[in-house]
Chains A and B, each alone.
Chain A
Amino acid sequence: MADAPPPLAACALRLGDDALILGQRLSEWCGHAPAIEIDLSLANVALDQIGQAAHFLGLAGEIEGKGRDADKLAFHRDVMDFANCLLVEQPNGDFAQTVARQFLFSHYQELLYAALAESKDARFAAIAAKALKEVKYHATLASDWVVRLGDGAEESRARMIAGLDWMWRFADELFAADEIDAALGLDKAALRSAWDARIDAVLADATLERPAAHRPVLGGRTGRHSEHLGHLLSEMQFLQRAYPGAAW
């Protein structure tokens, strides 16, 4: 993709890519979770994210106007054209690491969708408003697990701390604002204090401390990803790449 997409298309891509990559990651758990109930709830979250991804990527393609649909965008771009945040592409690790990722991301996504639901752009507002209830549930689910694992047994506590520590350096990127988000009238930086308050309240309930400040790792929004994303894409895109032009 040589030309940069129009700013509104880029906004939709970011939203769609976040949901897509997180949904893909979560679906790796399917059949392997610590209990059947957990398996079902992770699959639920994954399904919601994939559904949201289809909507936002569809919108991105529509705004871009080059005939690319959601599948074309999901399965035929390379790492440098993906605009998801680094947080969602992080590996699942153990269950605590997955919970940490979900916890930090879902609270952000809930605040973001709540803001987007009020957007002047009715297309974004409609998708966000519809998905808001889903992501609220994801945030509650993840928070409950942070508390259970943090204020649980010794091993779970140590793992929860390690999980948060792994993910924490990717939190700042969520709130990094630029002119692309401005095109949609989005002020992500303004979401930070509400997010901080939510995170701190849950951590307190979990008897956990905030992880030590890390130097933020940034770059996902402009295609500067971690090494993990390429592997995720090569798995996800395999069939479309191996059988070009086939319909499924």
Chain B
Amino acid sequence: MYTTDMTGKKTAQPVAEDPARVAAFEARVANDEFIEPKDWMPEAYRRTLIRQISQHAHSEIVGMLPEGNWITRAPNLRRKAILLAKVQDEGGHGLYLYAAAETLGVSRDEMTEALLSGKAKYSTIFNYPTLTWADIGAIGWLVDGAAIMNQVPLQRTSYGPYARAMVRICKEESFHQRQGYEIMMHLAQGTPEQKRMAQDALDRWWQPSLMMFGPPDDKSPNTEQSMRWRIKRETNDELRQKFVDITVPQAEAIGLKAPDPALKWNEARGHYDFGEVDWDEFWAVVKGDGPVAKERMQARRKAWDDGAWVREAARVHAVKRAAAKLAAE
């Protein structure tokens, strides 16, 4: 998931903090109160949130690339406009989230530098290529669908600015999910070539989508603390199961098949059983070895480096105009 802890390490132990303050903080959180920027918070909470929110923001921004790849080739004017608006929404999500993280005392430039240096992570899903138009459908349906599943509970997360950003974002993500599914539906009912395109996209995006929920619970060391802090409200495996249960019938409804021979409805559990996710692949991608990870980072670095003179011009111009205004007063 955009927000899953992918560091795989235990968070550093907090510096010595007043136990009474910590207890009061924990009580407020347990009581489902919102923590606001001016409120006292444990340093580990602050750091964990910065990591989680900035990683989410980076995912939105890097996520513009695979879909942006098809805007200029969208098959008709309506699809072009919808896709352009969708990718623009993702940029907007990145902006709200950077702003939410900034309330914790980190600047957008610092976060951007962390992304570009490879220090900060972003969702593994965006390290896979978009090869055909059907990938645009698959991403909306599966990736935005998985994002919603993770983010709906975060609308009630303990940190106020993050929760409020999530409320705005979730509304748009559910549009994206429906639009993506609608693309898939059209393709699945289209010509044999289109149907093949749709199935191929599902075949390629299925496993990476399951990986979006992060490592299995027993390999997710920070889950317990994050749940207590209400910055995570359901475990990775719970969310993954929910995603499978919802998505499999959606695929069947349009005549597509999830690429998993172990997939089977389990009447006793009331859930689908499904095959083991390839976790070696997941950890390789987390480490930066995704198939197009280099391309994604190259594109972000190029945008940042090529844009340096523009951002500098805006800064210099603002200073000049402010000075001129002052002189005129």
Contact = CB atoms under 8 A, between A and B. Distances in A.
A156 B75 contact: no
B91 A43 contact: yes
A24 B81 contact: no
A240 interface: yes
Contact of B87 (A31, A37, A54, A235): A31
Given A43-B91, A57-B77, A149-B317, 6 more contacts: A30-B87, A95-B310, A152-B313, A155-B309, A157-B313, A240-B76
A128 to B, nearest CB: 19
B73 A30 contact: no
B76 A75 contact: yes
Given A31-B299, A50-B77, A70-B77, A156 B313 contact: yes
B84 A236 contact: no
Given A151-B320, A248-B186, A34 B310 contact: yes
B224 to A, nearest CB: 34
Interface in A197-246: 235-236, 238-240, 243, 245-246
Interface string A16-38: 00001000100110111111111
Interface extent on B, as a size class?
A: 35 or more
A162 interface: no
Nearest to B299: A32
B309 A36 contact: no
- Most chain B CB inside 10 Å of its own CB: which residue of A37, A236, A248: A248
19 contacts: A30-B68, A30-B88, A31-B64, A31-B303, A32-B302, A33-B303, A34-B306, A39-B64, A44-B88, A47-B84, A47-B88, A54-B81, A74-B76, A147-B317, A153-B316, A236-B72, A246-B193, A248-B75, A248-B186
B190 A156 contact: no
A148 to B, nearest CB: 5
Contacts of A30: 64, 68, 71, 84, 87-88
Interface of B: 61, 64-65, 68, 71-81, 84-85, 87-88, 91-92, 94-95, 98, 133, 183, 186-187, 190-191, 193-194, 299, 302-303, 306-314, 316-317, 320
B198 to A, nearest CB: 12
Majority DSSP secondary structure for residues of B touching A: helix
Contacts of A32: 68, 299, 302-303
Contacts of B75: 75, 239-240, 246, 248
B84 A27 contact: yes
B136 to A, nearest CB: 10
Interface residues of A, number: 50
B92 to A, nearest CB: 6
A151 B309 contact: no
